[in-house]
Structures are given as C-alpha cells and as structure tokens.
C-alpha cells in the first residue's frame, strides 16, 4: 500500500514539474514575442526618421545650390541625403523581412546586411557633412561686412574675404544661407545618431543573448 502511495506521489510530482516547465516555456515565448514586437516598433520609428531626415537634407542642399553657385558641394550636403534615403528603404525592407514569414531566410539575412552596412556608412558621411556645414555657418556669423558687386557678394572675414556669385543680395547669405547651414549641420548630426542607433539595435538583436557557454 505504501509503495502504491509513493508511486502515485512520484507521478504527481513529475506531472507538476512538467506543467511548471511548460508554463515557463510559454512565459518565455510570450516575453520574447513581446520584446520582438517592441523592437520592431522602435526600428520602424528610426527608419521613418531616416526617411524624413533624408528628404529634409536633400531639399536644403538643393536650395543652397540654387542660392549661389559658389557654395561647395561639401556644404550643400544633399549628397548625404541620397544614401540616407537608400538606407531608410533598406531599413523598411529589413522590418518587412523580420516577420515570421521571412524569418531565417536569405531575404532576411540580405536585408539585415544591407540595412546595417548602409546605416553605418551613412553615419560616417553625415557626421563629416555636419562638421563642414557647421563650420561654414559659423564663419558666416563672423563676417564683418558684405558688399554686393555685379551679382557677387563679397564678405570680409578677419583673415580673408569670400565671394558668393550669382546672388540677388548679401542679405540672403547673412540670414537664409547661414540659418540653413546650421540647420543642415544639426540634421546631419541627428541622422548620424539615428543610423548608429539602428546598427546597435540590429547588432543587439542578433548577439544580445549570445551565450558562450558555462562560466
């Protein structure tokens, strides 16, 4: 009789242990699914910011080129907006392939590689463009005076003078161009942070739970 009771208690204990393990597995699955959903929302938000910043940088850069032909390409940095736009499209493709339908497929790996590589390269390009446009905007703020001679604005700097050809007036340089250069510098810096954030999220999602073995 006692052996039968012990056998029944053993079976009940095994059933309880199995139920507990299944409950933990369900809890871990729900937790992982919740984290993946949260991460996907963050990634989509960052990709949307990439797209908006790219459109803004292209618009500002083209505007600066139309104001004066003397503004260098490095200062009118629409060239950073174009690859940033490409990076945002790769990010959208990556978010789409993160669904269960494309999980662990060739398309998913390709999208992850393209999104990471383009975002990393854009982070370098935008930080360089931010420095150049910021320096130019700060230099305009220090001009001692500007004179318009035959559609050419000549501005005096403490050590040198700078010319802006094909302009309607020097007021455009002192006000609009300076403000847009500073805005462009800020947008490029923000774009660089967003790109690095995306790279960090993708890396953490891939290697954040990496276990190298027992310590």
What's the CA gap between 39 and 185, in Å, rounded? 29
Highest mean pLDDT among 95-104, 158-167, 190-199, 202-211: 190-199
Side-by-side strand order, sheet with 145-149: 145-149, 152-156, 161-165
The pLDDT of residue 62: 92
Q: What values do phi and psi take at 68, rounded to 5?
A: -150, 135
Please tell me whether residue 162 adopts helix, strand or coil conformation: strand
The pLDDT of residue 73: 86
User: Of all residues in the chain, what percent carry a pLDDT higher than 70?
Assistant: 73
Q: What is the mean pLDDT of residues 158-170?
A: 85
pLDDT digits (tens, 9 = 90+) for 119-156: 999 999 999 999 999 999 989 888 888 898 888 898 88
The pLDDT of residue 118: 92
Q: Look over the chain and give the mean of its residue pLDDT values, rounded to a whole number.
A: 78
**pLDDT surpassing 60 at residue 215:** no
**H or E segment to which residue 49 belongs:** helix 2-67
DSSP state of 73: T
What's the CA gap between 35 and 48, in Å, rounded? 20
**Can you say whether the dihedral through the CA atoms of 43, 46, 52, 56 is positive or negative?**
negative
Strands, E assignment, the chain: 145-149, 152-156, 161-165
Q: What is the mean pLDDT of residues 88-113?
A: 76
Please tell me whether residue 69 adopts helix, strand or coil conformation: coil
Per-residue confidence band for 160, with pLDDT thresholds at 50, 70 and 90: confident
């Amino acid at each position: 009789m006692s052996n039968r009771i012990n056998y029944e208690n053993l079976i009940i204990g095994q059933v309880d242990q199995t139920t507990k393990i299944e409950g933990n597995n369900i809890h871990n699955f729900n937790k992982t699914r919740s984290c993946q959903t949260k991460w996907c929302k963050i990634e989509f938000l960052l990709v949307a910011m990439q797209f908006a910043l790219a459109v803004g940088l292209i618009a500002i850069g083209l505007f600066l080129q139309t104001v004066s032909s003397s503004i260098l390409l490095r200062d009118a940095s629409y060239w950073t907006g174009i690859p940033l736009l490409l990076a945002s499209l790769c990010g959208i493709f990556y978010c789409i392939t993160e669904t269960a339908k494309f999980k662990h497929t060739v398309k998913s790996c390709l999208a992850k590689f393209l999104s990471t590589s383009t975002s990393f390269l854009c982070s370098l390009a935008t930080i360089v463009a931010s420095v150049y446009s910021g320096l130019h905007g700060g230099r305009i703020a220090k001009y001692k005076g500007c004179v318009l001679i035959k559609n050419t604005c000549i501005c005096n700097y403490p050590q040198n003078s700078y010319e802006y050809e094909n302009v309607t007036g020097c007021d455009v340089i002192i006000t609009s161009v300076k403000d847009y250069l500073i805005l462009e510098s800020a947008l490029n810096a923000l774009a660089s942070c967003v790109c690095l954030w995306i790279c960090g999220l993708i890396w953490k999602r891939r290697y954040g739970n990496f276990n190298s073995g027992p310590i």
